[in-house]
With several copies, the nearest count.
Chain A
Amino acid sequence: MYTKKVKDHFMNPRNVGSIENADAQGEIGNPQCGDIMHIDIKVENGVIVDIKFQTFGCAAAIASSSMVTEIAKGKTLIEAEKLTNQMVADALGGLPPAKMHCSNLAADALHRAIQDYRRKHPEVE
């Protein structure tokens, strides 16, 4: 059902937790669908220098959260904004069709965190 990469990111998720004094945070999901993703970011000079996630959800949700943090870390906000859920799924070697809609929202959570950051720091390009 799940690819090796999904299983790896699910069993050994990267960047789990929250950041003390995070610069911004984003959250997406609802308990009905069974997935809630929360992302904290720390930004320096327009670059995501730290990122952590907390996710309530299935393996696809956890793995895509983990994957998005891994991809985004070290990226500029502008680069990170270009990340899509599909790109995360692709980086995981694909997700089962049933999981694409509901559990594959980690990029959206990241975008919300970036939005939050931009709201707080309107001066940053």
Chain B
Amino acid sequence: MKCIYLDHSATTPVDPEVVTAMNPFFSMHYGNPSSMYSIAEISRDAIEQSRSTIASFINASPKEIYFTSGGTESDNQAIFTTAQKQKHKGMHIITSSIEHHAVLYAFQQLEKEGFDVTYLPVDSYGIVSPSSLQKAMRSDTTLVSIMHANNEVGTMQDILSLATIAHEKGALFHTDAVQAIGKVPVDVQLMNVDLLSSSAHKLYGPKGVGFLYAKKGTPFSSYLYGGGQENKKRPGTENVPGIVGFAKAIELAQNRSLDDHQHLQNLATFLTDGIQNLVSDVLFTGHPTQRTPGHVSVCFKYVEGESILLMLDSHGICVSSGSACTSGSLDASHVLLAMGIDSATAQGSIRLTMGRQNTMEDMKAVLNVLPEIIEKLRKMSPLC
């Protein structure tokens, strides 16, 4: 059965050009970048070339890019090490209530360690209002971390305004841009951020590699202890093929960004309109316009997300669900709840995130089966 993959926010297929770029670094240019002999220079140069490509894509300097094992590690390093390094300045740190667990649980851990944490609320679109940040800022606030684009509902924040408020009070600003990079322009200067996290596998790069941008002079440090790699900020033998693949993925994103953007918008609009017309009692979540392209998140009342997901899967359509059942926890998505959606409705959420390869035919295929799936499940539901 043909598979229609509509879960690009979970992960993306690695672009064949990316695989081709990585390949020589497995068995041919395998030298350890820390070694002194000439063949290792090829690995070292490849890393530095990759660093430059990525830096210029986000308007940073190469020295401000540190490679990590992924988005989770980047988020953790940014948050834990800056909070610790600024402890003498203050113990108040701020985040939003819709962060990914890689940020949220880091803050909860710091809270356990004695930090005072403010979790900013969001409005019904998932927007953190600059005025709420303004009010939360204190003289002992050292770090603000607010995600650029939300993974569940696609809402994008006004990072420049938020970062500017943080800076006015002398706090650092970190943003988790894992869901933004490759989909929308990300310019660390225009956004005025100190730290930014990214993960390659969300933009057609390989799993297991990410980067942390840290502006020159930012007080952060290595989260792991060991060798002197990555300018002493991230020990461990570098994942050379992964880093090269990440840079290639960024290069492709750069070349295709305009086309991709328009294409994804078109797909999402078509799908949204179709669902709206064909199914009753639906609630589209996230901001109507301030959102990542190709991202449709919707709650179907009276039914539960996992059931929808699995029925779509039986038709070869891959989507994800924000329901409690799929997250491994028993509570409905903390993101949807923070947006004021009641938990029964939140249980019926489905996320469809489109990618480069998707076509209008794919959208039509979804619209072809989704209404009857919802009908079938609602017939089974005691809530109808």
Contacts and interface: CB of A to CB of B under 8 A. Distances in A.
Interface in A1-52: 1-2, 7, 10-11, 13, 16-17, 27, 31-38
B310 A37 contact: no
20 contacts: A2-B310, A10-B307, A10-B310, A11-B311, A13-B380, A32-B330, A34-B323, A34-B347, A36-B382, A37-B382, A54-B380, A54-B381, A56-B344, A58-B304, A58-B305, A58-B323, A59-B306, A62-B380, A98-B328, A103-B325
Contacts of B380: 13, 16, 54-56, 62
Interface centre among B328, B332, B380, B383 (most CB of A within 10 A): B380
A54 to B, nearest CB: 4
A83 interface: no
B311 A34 contact: no
B330 A56 contact: no
Contacts of B302: 56
Interface of A: 1-2, 7, 10-11, 13, 16-17, 27, 31-38, 54-62, 98-99, 101-103
Contact of A27 (B303, B325, B382): B382
Given A54-B380, A56-B381, A33 B310 contact: no
Contacts of A38: 382
B87 to A, nearest CB: 30
Contacts of B54: none
Contact of A34 (B41, B44, B324): B324
B61 interface: no
Contacts of B307: 10, 57-59, 62
Given A57-B304, A57-B307, A31 B347 contact: yes
A55 B381 contact: yes
A123 B379 CA distance: 35
A93 to B, nearest CB: 16
B375 interface: no
Contact of A1 (B36, B332, B344): B36
A56 B374 CA distance: 12
Contacts of B36: 1
B250 to A, nearest CB: 26
Interface string B216-236: 000000000000000000000
Contacts of A35: 304
Given A13-B380, A33-B324, 10 more contacts: A1-B36, A7-B310, A31-B347, A54-B380, A55-B382, A56-B302, A57-B307, A58-B304, A58-B325, A101-B330
B194 to A, nearest CB: 25
B331 interface: yes
B314 interface: yes
Interface residues of B, number: 28
B343 interface: yes
A56 B323 contact: no
A1 B43 CA distance: 12
A13 B305 CA distance: 17
B373 to A, nearest CB: 11
A36 B383 contact: yes
Contacts of A34: 304, 323-325, 330, 332, 343, 347
B304 A56 contact: yes
Nearest to A16: B380
A13 B381 CA distance: 12
Interface string B290-331: 000000000000111111001100100000000111001011
A93 B307 CA distance: 19
Nearest to A10: B310
Interface string B31-69: 000001000010010000000000000000000000000
Contacts of A59: 306-307, 310
Contact of B330 (A1, A2, A33, A37): A33
A102 B41 CA distance: 23
In the A-B complex, the 10 residue pairs with the closest CB atoms: A31-B344, A58-B325, A58-B306, A38-B382, A54-B382, A34-B347, A34-B324, A56-B381, A56-B383, A59-B310
Nearest to A11: B314
Nearest to B324: A34
Contacts of B325: 34, 57-58, 60, 99, 103
B228 to A, nearest CB: 10
A5 to B, nearest CB: 14
Contacts of A10: 307, 310
Between B36, B330, B342, B344, the greatest number of chain A beta carbons within 10 A of the residue's beta carbon is seen for B330
Interface in B349-382: 379-382
B379 A102 contact: no
Contacts of B344: 31, 56
A64 B159 CA distance: 47
